[in-house]
Amino acid sequence: MNPSETITIQTVDNKRQLNRFVRFPYSLYEGDPGWVPPLVGDNMKYVQGEGNYLNQSGPNQKIIATRNGEVCGRLLVGINEHLNHHKNLKDGYISLFECVNDQQIADIMLDYAGEWLLQRGMEYVKGPLSIPGGDDNRGFLIDNFKDSTLIMNTYNKPYYPDLFVKYGFQKYCDVYAYKSDSSNENIKRYEKIAPYAMERYGFRVDPIDLKNIQREMKDVKKIIDRAMPSHWEDFLPPNDEEIDIIAKQLVPYADPDLIYIARTVDGEPIGFNIALPDYNEVLVKMKGHLLPFGIIKYLYYKNKIRKIRFFVLFVVPEFQKKGVSSAIYWNTFRAAVNKGYDFVEGSTIWDYNEPMKRDIEKYGGEIYKTYRLYKKRL
């Protein structure tokens, strides 16, 4: 670094600093075809905790790094106290990391985050993680910077993993994105298997009823409470408030033909999935702004979306080997093809989630992107 250059860390405590925090990626990724700019207004709300569980989960701090007055890096450091309490952890997390290609700047920001966590009694830091209650910004992409980035998934500069490793982080785990398309012959064979399983084991698969979303989300919560493995260190079943947040996020963007809830003949919920159209195909046209012409572009391009992202699928333990996941996959695939979607990404699947990996690979899914999470002892 030039001796005349001065790097400073500033906490984001006012509107001006918040604006600089939010807008930094727009300049950092300018001209990078892999990055899809979110709407500035929505992003402003998101980083403040609207539509996620950031502020309810525990303390957090946003910072920016400046060099001679210009923003050159940012991150959010926080503590998920709910997760730590239930899993008996002393972990902090890093999210929303962005940085120019300069190890010293990354080190100074990461030093700040480590000291902030040490002062609050933490022993480890993990990252980059999603903001609590979110399903994005998880890990650094370490391969395949060529294929497009789907809705709420991660894209980063290729040098980011090196910045973390050189600082002293080690691999914590990998999470995967799988791909499939409308020509997938493996899943087509479930056209007969799925109806047979539903009849034999006494269940049905219904598209989500968005007009009765509160009722539907109560059933979703019942399924997650029973289906989420207790040994998953990084996850807790959502509480009622988090379920309400998910519902509010879902309704404006959901295609009910892509989301299903499986129930027994007696109406007991036993499985569900969430898949969404890839609205990044629209956002990339809007350049981060709704006005003056963004709304016109949105209305025009939203009906031309051809990709979907399959976020999650849960089945309660006693039905996990009775064709419920097959029936959900088949119904989603059939509806997607009928509506003109021709590509599906299943993501992000943690490397320790062996049942889900086996399911997806059995249906013909192939890993095409890998995201890496890191961990460091403080």
Which two three-digit tokens encode residue 90? 């002393």
From-to residues of CATH 3.40.630.30 in the chain: 7-175, 183-341
DSSP characters over 329-366: HHHHHHHHHHTT--EEEEEEEETT-HHHHHHHHHTT-E
331-349 b/e (C-beta count within 10 Å ≥ 16 → b)? bbbbbbbeeebebbbbbbb
Residue with the two structure tokens 């956002």: 283
For 208-257, write each residue's pLDDT tens digit: 999 999 999 999 999 999 999 988 999 889 888 889 888 888 888 899 99
Q: What percent of the chain has pLDDT over 90?
A: 75
For 90-135, write each residue's pLDDT tens digit: 999 999 999 999 999 999 999 999 999 999 999 999 999 999 877 7
Which two three-digit tokens encode residue 267? 């109406």
Question: Hey, is 61 helix, strand or coil?
Answer: strand
Long-range Cβ contacts of 227-236 (<8 Å, 24+ apart):
227/271, 227/314, 227/315, 227/316, 227/317, 228/314, 232/350, 232/352, 233/87, 233/89, 234/83, 234/126, 234/129, 234/350, 235/83, 236/82, 236/83, 236/86, 236/87
Question: Hey, is 136 helix, strand or coil?
Answer: coil
The pLDDT, as a whole number, for residue 298 is 57
- Quick check: 291 pLDDT over 50? no
- Quick check: 295 pLDDT over 70? no
Q: Which of the following CATH numbers is that of domain 183-341: 3.30.70.250, 3.40.630.30, 3.90.420.10, 3.40.50.300?
A: 3.40.630.30
For residue 112, the surrounding DSSP H or E stretch is: helix 103-118
For 166-220, write each residue's pLDDT tens digit: 999 999 999 999 999 888 878 888 888 899 999 999 999 999 999 999 999 999 9
Residue range 362-377: mean pLDDT, rounded: 95
Q: How many Cα atoms are found within 13 Å in the side-chain-facing hemisphere of 167?
A: 28
Q: How far is CA 314 from the centre of its chain?
A: 16
Residue with the two structure tokens 């830091």: 125
Give the CATH superfamily of 7-175. Gcn5-related N-acetyltransferase (GNAT) (3.40.630.30)
Amino acid code (one letter) for 366 = E
- The band of 306, judged by pLDDT with boundaries at 50, 70 and 90, is very high
Closest alpha carbon to 77 in 91, 87, 67: 91
- Quick check: 4 pLDDT over 90? no
- Quick check: 329 pLDDT over 80? yes
Name the pTM for this structure.
0.92
